[in-house]
Amino acid sequence: MRLSFFLLFWCFTAFSQRDTIVKIYFNHGSYVPKSKVNPFLKIDTTRWNPVVTLTAKTDTTGDASYNHDLADFRLKAVKDLVAKQRYFKTGKTSILGETKADLANYQSEKERCVEVKFMAKRGSTRPNPTATISGTANADEPAKVEVVMPRNFSPDSAMAKGDVFVMNNILFEINETILMPESYAELEQLLAVMQKNPEMRIHIKGHVCCAPAMDLSVKRAQKIYTYLVRNGISDKRLTFKGYSNKSPHPKYKKDLFDPRHRRVEIEILEK
C-alpha cells in the first residue's frame, strides 16, 4: 500500500511539472535580438534547473554554410544573455533548418528565433510561464543596433529588403582604387541583377582591413557606384559609403587582421 502511494505521488509530482520554452526573436538576416529586454534577468530561479538548452532556427534562403553561421551567431547572442543571469548555464545547443531540405519549415517570422528550454525542478510547484518569466517574450521594441550577417553574392540568390551581400570577387590593387581584371565578371552580374529588377535600390559599402583608411574605403565603394551609373543605372537607385576598418566582417571579427575584412558589400534597400 505504501509503495503504491509513493508511486502515485511520484507520478503526480513528475507530470504536474512543466518545462517552459522562451523564444528570442531576430529580424531577417540579423543576429541581434529584436528586444532590448533581457528576459532571463526576471526569472524566478527557484523553480528551474540551472542548465538550459538552446535551439536556433534559420530563416533565410541562403546556402547551408550561411544558414549555419547565422544560427550559430544567434546562439552566441542568446548565450550571452543567459550568462548575465549568473544562475543559468547553457547546456545542449542545436540548429534547425540549416540545409536546403529543411528550409521550407523555418521560413516564417515565427520561426526566426532561438528557443530556450527551461527544465522545472523536481518537487517545485507547477510553474506558470507567464508568471515566472515576465516580460520575456518577445517585446517588439527593436534593438538599437541592427547587425545583419552578410551572404556571398550570387546573381541567382533570393534577395529581400535588408539583405547584405559580400562581393567576394570584386578585388582591388593593394592600397589602390584600381579594380583587378577578374572583378568585372561579378560587376557585370551585379549590373544584370539591377537591370532585371528596375525597382531595386542598393547601398554600396566599402571596407578595408587592418589599418584605418576611410578615404580608400569611400573611393572603392564609389568605384562600384560609378561603374553602375556609367552602365545605365540611375544614381537615384544607388548610395555608397566607406566604413574604413570600423565594421569588420562578423564571421572573422576575432582576428581584425584577417584579409577577408577587406571587401565590398551591397545592402538591398528596396526590392
Residue 130 has what pLDDT? 35
Report which of 143, 166, 154 is spatially closest to residue 248, judged by C-alpha positions: 166
- The residues, ordered by sequence, that sit 6+ positions from 177 with a Cβ below 8 Å of its Cβ are 216, 219, 220, 222, 223
CATH code for residues 151-270: 3.30.1330.60
Residue 58 has what pLDDT? 72
* Integer CA distances (angstroms), 122 to 52, 110, 114, 131, in order: 15, 31, 25, 19
Confidence of residue 81 (pLDDT cuts 50, 70, 90): confident
Cβ contact 186:257 at 8 Å: no
As a whole number, mean pLDDT of residues 34-57 equals 81
Check residues 76 and 193 and name the one with the higher pLDDT.
193
> What is the phi/psi pair of residue 210, to 5°?
75, -85
- The residues, ordered by sequence, that sit 6+ positions from 28 with a Cβ below 8 Å of its Cβ are 59, 60, 112, 160, 162, 163
Q: Where are the domains of the chain?
A: 9-132, 151-270
pLDDT over 80 (residue 151)? yes
Report which of 184, 190, 131, 128 is spatially closest to residue 159, judged by C-alpha positions: 190
List the single range of 71-75, 159-163, 265-269 with lowest mean pLDDT: 71-75
- Here the cell at position 269 is 534597400
Check residues 234 and 127 and name the one with the higher pLDDT.
234
Q: Which helix (H) or strand (E) holds 64?
A: helix 64-84
As a whole number, mean pLDDT of residues 86-99 equals 78
Confidence of residue 9 (pLDDT cuts 50, 70, 90): very low
pLDDT, tens digit (0-9, with 9 covering 90-100), for 256-271: 777 788 899 999 999 8
HSE-up of residue 133 (Cα within 13 Å, Cβ side): 23
Q: Strand 238-242 relative to strand 201-207: parallel, antiparallel, unpaired?
A: parallel
List the single range of 12-16, 47-51, 253-257 with lowest mean pLDDT: 12-16
9-132 and 151-270 agree in CATH topology: yes
- Here the cell at position 34 is 529584436
> What is the phi/psi pair of residue 95, to 5°?
-125, 135
pLDDT, tens digit (0-9, with 9 covering 90-100), for 229-253: 999 999 999 999 999 888 888 877 7
Cβ neighbours of 36 (radius 10 Å): 11
CATH code for residues 9-132: 3.30.1330.60
List the single range of 57-61, 209-213, 216-220 with lowest mean pLDDT: 57-61
Percent residues over pLDDT 70 in the chain? 76
Residues 153, 169: Cα–Cα separation, whole Å: 9
